[in-house]
Amino acid sequence: MRGHLSSVKGGEPDWGGQLGSERSGVRMDEDVLTTLKILIIGESGVGKSSLLLRFTDDTFDPELAATIGVDFKVKTISVDGNKAKLAIWDTAGQERFRTLTPSYYRGAQGVILVYDVTRRDTFVKLDNWLNELETYCTRNDIVNMLVGNKIDKENREVDRNEGLKFARKHSMLFIEASAKTCDGVQCAFEELVEKIIQTPGLWESENQNKGVKLTHREEGPGGGACGGYCSML
Amino acid sequence: MDPPAGFSGLFPLGQLAYFSKNLQEAEQPVFTLKRGEAHNCFLKSGLVQPVLQVHRNTIPQIRLEMATQDRSSQRLPPVAEPAVEGVPHLPVGHELAEASRFAYAALCGISLSQLFPEPEQSSFCTEFVAGLVKWLELPEAVLPTMTAFANGLGGEGADVFAPILLKDPILKDNRLVIIQDLLSFSLKDGRYDARARVLICHVTSLFRVPLEELDLLEETFLESLKETKEEESETAEASRKKKENRRKWKRYLLIGLATVGGGTVIGVTGGLAAPLVAAGAATIIGSAGAAALGSVAGIAVMTSLFGAAGAGLTGYKMKKRVGAIEEFTFLPLTEGRQLHITIAITGWLASGKYRTFSAPWMALARSSEQYCLAWEAKYLMELGNALETILSGLANMVAQEALKYTVLSGIVAALTWPASLLTVANVIDNPWGVCLHRSAEVGKHLAHILLSRQQGRRPVTLIGFSLGARVIYFCLQEMAQEKDCQGIIEDVVLLGAPVEGEAKHWEPFRKVVSGRIINGYSRGDWLLSFVYRTSSVQLRVAGLQPVLLQDRRVENVDLSSVVSGHLDYARQMDIILKTVGIHTKPGWDEKGLLLTPGSPPQEEPRQVAATSSSDKTTPGDNPEVATPADPSRVQVPTGLDQSEGASLPATTSPAESPQLCSHGTGPNPLGCPDCASETQGPCPGLD
């Protein structure tokens, strides 16, 4: 299940502007293919914020305070020569902020579901998170990734194969990582983005969903009325 | 009965002043409370003692009440739980659960970024959200996220947070908690930014709370900050309900404010009240207050309540002539007080019913504090007479046929005006040209008055028709050139504006106007296109067609079905206001029809009261009074006086039957929207 990484950094700038318009409000970068919304969810204390911090700032803070509400970071990465701007929403795992979580699912193209390999309870509760995901997600072709965090620790409680099995069962990407040692963090995000970009209907449709566009009906040959997105939506 | 001089005399009896901690240092009150309100919120024993002494000599029962409160206050912290008299405990913003507070701040952040995406507004958005985070006692860690929200990052829409907030157990039953908290927050620095009000209105609508509730909250707020006489003339039932509501909220508003500490001075009410103040400050701050005006404390109160230069406004205007402006006065339209004000600007004055500046605005109820601008009555009167002449007398029969095709084919045809009309053109062209020039001057002057915050630090809405709209246009244009022009103007409504309709000219207004820019136009307004044929070469006139500016603020309202001729802007004002979404007084219609021309009954005494306050009778609401020294004025439109009698019935009658298609019968046969829409495209412009 675990796909290989095939990212090329510093990709071709020629792509710029071809797929043009981004969501208003986000500053348009010339050579960014698209803006993707990524959500990080999981139980409290599994290391969601640490993963994000490692990915965006390449730092690690063992005493990181619990997230309040949601944290939000933007990072541009290039995968396969395509630059993508990631708007990453790091949700709070604490119960008291659970009411807020549903609001973030809307429009997300990728979800990173994190558990702690040293705490079985965080793995057991994955089912709940998947339920919530199903309930609140606005699209069903969203790319999910399961991340087992804290593999640097000794007292592992969840075996790698267990995670792999769970991921396969729910057709998710899977990776084990450690925010502390930087193991697999970059990889996790890049792979997720790659997968999203490989699913064109997922990110291209963002523009189409923003409103009704009144244009001349010039359907491509065999394109069909819905431009081939029907099967995916 | 007059209390002794000194600062304590400022407060009408039965009021209680709350002073900031160091009485010696700052002798000005932070705010005043009504007797019953003080129960356990602000009282700190000792601090109120000086005031107490004074009242003790005058009204014993207050002393008694205060004494008990004084004792109870010793047990209670400064910001105490407001569980009084069976009123359920309603928490203020920072008492909500952390998740709700987060959602609340996020909601505001995202809303701000949606409302004000312009880069020049981003500092306001950021500061607002940062302040809100502090106000809500949220941890600093959320600041980057909130800043991102406020700058338009990451927002999938503020509406996602609204449902979450509404699920909060506290907010479920009391959505107003958020609104009132946001209001307290916005006002805590003693100013009310127009952008903040737009945000509050936005949040109010997200919560599906009627805007009237917000108005009520604002009124309550204001009321709790100053003593007002209970003089509402509503029906007993409505007023009781209103008051009950108010009483409940007042407490929480005050508690919300108290949390900022002693530094809150409210300076949001404004200087436009200056004429009233001059008339007798006694009516507003009590006779005792008027006596104490000379004292240091008195000046402090006046400053905070009416804006720094408020009292000087009248004097300034009367003594100095600004440029070419001969008349420039604010007349109160309504007696109330509100945290936001509306200024209505009349476009011309006519004979009969519409001879006063305030006459067209009788139905306006945008705010309970409204003013109308009296400017250049002499010239507007001339213009009005000329308009009426053209419409009713001379042009009617002759130009009828020719004008029909003029309207139908848009402004292009304006180049081929019928000769019959052109012969009488001099009647209108001269006053029109004069007023066109004057309105620009007046607009610029208004801009500087608003920029200097003579109205106080609170949002202003401008509404004007015809040349009044032109005043607004130039006011906005002038303001846009200034650096600190933001957050003053809330909404603007331009009706039948004789100004350029090119979008690029309206572009700078986005910076100035926080709320809506409404352009009400009528395609059938041939008079506007006629007077515009020579005045300038502009072919796109805002009053004739939509302004094609892409912005959330801009709303183009086609009034062709209501306004069939330029004079209808005054006559149909109540309908127009409703159409463009401005609040009007309920049940106005019947009242408006009952009014006979030339006798607007309610306003006359009020106007007199207002004008008598100034040293000169300049506010020419009544033209005869306004410019008695100018006998030539009456004769200027020669022949008009004779025709006036004939024209009067003709011009007033359509008011009763506005919707009738008046082919060939009415004074303005060509404005019939049905005719116009048959052949005319959506935009009669050249391109």
**Contact indicator for B171, B95 with CB cutoff of 8 Å:** no
State the pLDDT confidence band at B229, using cuts at 50, 70 and 90.
very low
Show the tokens assigned to B566.
């330029």
B486, B490, B495, B496: CA torsion to nearest 10: 10
The whole-angstrom distance between B135's CA and the closest CA on chain A is: 16
- The beta-carbon neighbor of A68 closest among B117, B142, B153 is B142
List chain A residues with CB under 8 Å of B164.
99-100, 102-103
The whole-angstrom distance between A1's CA and the closest CA on chain B is: 31
Show the tokens assigned to B57.
């000599």
Other Cβ atoms less than 10 A from the Cβ of B345: the count is 29
Residue of A nearest to B113 (CA): A25
> Touching check for A227 and chain B: CB below 8 Å?
no
Contact A69 B103 (CB under 8 A): yes
Report the distance separating Cα B175 and Cα B164, nearest Å: 12
List chain B residues with CB under 8 Å of A102.
164
State the pLDDT confidence band at B449, using cuts at 50, 70 and 90.
confident
Other Cβ atoms less than 10 A from the Cβ of A229: the count is 15
Which of B100, B121, B145 to mutate to probe the A interface, most A CBs <10 Å? Answer: B145
Buried b (16+ CB within 10 A) or exposed e, B148-178: bbbbbbbbbebebbbebbbebebbeebbbbb
**Contact indicator for A60, A180 with CB cutoff of 8 Å:** yes
User: What is the average pLDDT across B199-212?
Assistant: 90
Contact B98 A96 (CB under 8 A): yes
Per-position DSSP letters for A81-128, written without gaps between them:
TEEEEEEEEEE--SGGGTTTTHHHHTT-SEEEEEEETT-HHHHHTHHH
**At residue B495, what are phi and psi to the nearest 5 degrees?**
-115, 125
SS3 B443: helix
- The beta-carbon neighbor of A97 closest among B99, B148, B163 is B99
B22, B27, B31, B32: CA torsion to nearest 10: 110
As to burial, measured by CB atoms within 10 angstroms (0-12 exposed, 13-18 middle, 19+ buried), residue B76 is middle
Task: For chain B, give the mean pLDDT.
Answer: 64
DSSP B454: T
**Per-residue pLDDT tens over the stretch B487-535:** 999 999 999 998 888 888 999 999 999 999 999 998 877 777 777 665 5
**Per-residue pLDDT tens over the stretch A189-225:** 999 998 988 887 777 654 444 444 454 444 333 333 3
Which value does ipTM take for this structure?
Answer: 0.73
Q: Report whether pLDDT(B355) > 80.
A: yes
- Locus of tokens 């400053």: B303
List chain A residues with CB under 8 Å of B145.
69-72
The whole-angstrom distance between B141's CA and the closest CA on chain A is: 8
Q: Report whether pLDDT(B100) > 60.
A: yes
Instruction: Tell me the range of A17-26, B547-556, B558-567 where mean pLDDT is highest.
Output: B547-556
The whole-angstrom distance between A97's CA and the closest CA on chain B is: 5
> Touching check for A59 and chain B: CB below 8 Å?
no
Find how far residue B460's CA is from the centre of its chain. Answer: 5
In the chain, the amino acid numbered B316 is Y
State the pLDDT confidence band at B67, using cuts at 50, 70 and 90.
very low
Which of B113, B151, B153 to mutate to probe the A interface, most A CBs <10 Å? Answer: B153
Q: What's the pLDDT score for residue B648?
A: 35
As to burial, measured by CB atoms within 10 angstroms (0-12 exposed, 13-18 middle, 19+ buried), residue A163 is buried
Selected residue with higher pLDDT from B197 and B33? B197
Query: At A144, which helix (H) or strand (E)?
Result: strand A143-149
Contact B102 A69 (CB under 8 A): yes
List chain A residues with CB under 8 Å of B106.
69-70
Per-position DSSP letters for B553-588, written without gaps between them:
SEEEEE-TTT-SSTTHHHHTHHHHHHHTT--B-TTH
Low-confidence winner among A205-209, B27-31, B261-265 (lowest mean pLDDT):
B261-265
**Contact indicator for B350, B388 with CB cutoff of 8 Å:** yes
**Per-residue pLDDT tens over the stretch B141-165:** 888 888 888 888 766 666 678 888 8
HSE-CB at B231 with a 13 A cutoff on CA atoms is 9
Contact B154 A89 (CB under 8 A): yes
In the chain, the amino acid numbered B164 is I
Closest CA to B216 of B202, B204, B198, B231: B204
**Per-residue pLDDT tens over the stretch A53-84:** 999 999 999 888 888 888 888 899 988 788 88
The β-bridge partners of B541 are B500
- With vertex at residue B519, the alpha carbon angle to CA B572 and CA A213, rounded to the nearest 5 degrees, is 125
HSE-CB at A190 with a 13 A cutoff on CA atoms is 18
Q: Report whether pLDDT(B238) > 70.
A: no
Selected residue with higher pLDDT from B538 and B146? B146
Q: Report whether pLDDT(B338) > 60.
A: yes
In the chain, the amino acid numbered B503 is A
State the pLDDT confidence band at B539, using cuts at 50, 70 and 90.
low
**Contact indicator for B195, B157 with CB cutoff of 8 Å:** no
Contacts for B265 with CB less than 8 Å, ≥ 6 apart: B28, B30, B31, B190, B304
Helix axes B236-258, B176-187, angle to 10 degrees: 60
Contact A103 B164 (CB under 8 A): yes
Interface subset of A 80-99, CB within 8 angstroms of B: 87, 89, 96-99
Report the distance separating Cα B438 and Cα B443, nearest Å: 8
Domains, chain A, ranges and CATH? 34-205 (3.40.50.300)
Find how far residue B626's CA is from the centre of its chain. Answer: 25
Please give the model's pTM, rounded to 2 decimal places: 0.66
**Contact indicator for B533, B417 with CB cutoff of 8 Å:** yes
- The beta-carbon neighbor of B142 closest among A24, A69, A103 is A69
Contact A25 B152 (CB under 8 A): yes
SS3 B369: coil
Contacts for B324 with CB less than 8 Å, ≥ 6 apart: B437, B438, B441
**Contact indicator for B217, B200 with CB cutoff of 8 Å:** no
Closest CA to B493 of B602, B381, B361: B361
Q: What's the pLDDT score for residue A159?
A: 92
Find how far residue B513's CA is from the centre of its chain. Answer: 13
Q: List C-alpha distances in Å: A208 to A23, A141, A229, B434.
A: 11, 16, 11, 53
Residue of A nearest to B122 (CA): A25
Low-confidence winner among B180-189, B261-270, B596-605 (lowest mean pLDDT):
B261-270
- The beta-carbon neighbor of A68 closest among B138, B148, B163 is B138
State the pLDDT confidence band at B324, using cuts at 50, 70 and 90.
low
Q: Which fold has domain B328-580?
A: Rossmann fold (3.40.50)
Query: At A164, which helix (H) or strand (E)?
Result: helix A160-169
Contacts for A120 with CB less than 8 Å, ≥ 6 apart: A157, A158
Annotated domain spans of chain B: 92-209, 225-252+291-306, 328-580
**Per-residue pLDDT tens over the stretch B418-439:** 666 666 666 677 788 888 888 9
Report the distance separating Cα B554 and Cα B519, nearest Å: 7
The total number of residues written for chain B in this structure: 687
Instruction: Tell me the range of B61-65, B343-347, B542-546 where mean pLDDT is highest.
Output: B343-347
SS3 B4: coil
User: What is the average pLDDT across B36-55?
Assistant: 33
The β-bridge partners of A147 are A114, A175
User: What is the average pLDDT across A115-142?
Assistant: 89
- The beta-carbon neighbor of A71 closest among B100, B145, B167 is B145
Other Cβ atoms less than 10 A from the Cβ of B572: the count is 25
User: What is the average pLDDT across B246-252?
Assistant: 53
Q: What's the pLDDT score for residue B87?
A: 42
The whole-angstrom distance between A88's CA and the closest CA on chain B is: 8
Which chain B residues have any C-beta within 8 angstroms of a chain A C-beta? 97-100, 102-103, 106, 113-114, 117, 138-139, 141-142, 144-145, 148-149, 152-157, 160-161, 163-164, 167-168
**Contact indicator for B506, B536 with CB cutoff of 8 Å:** no
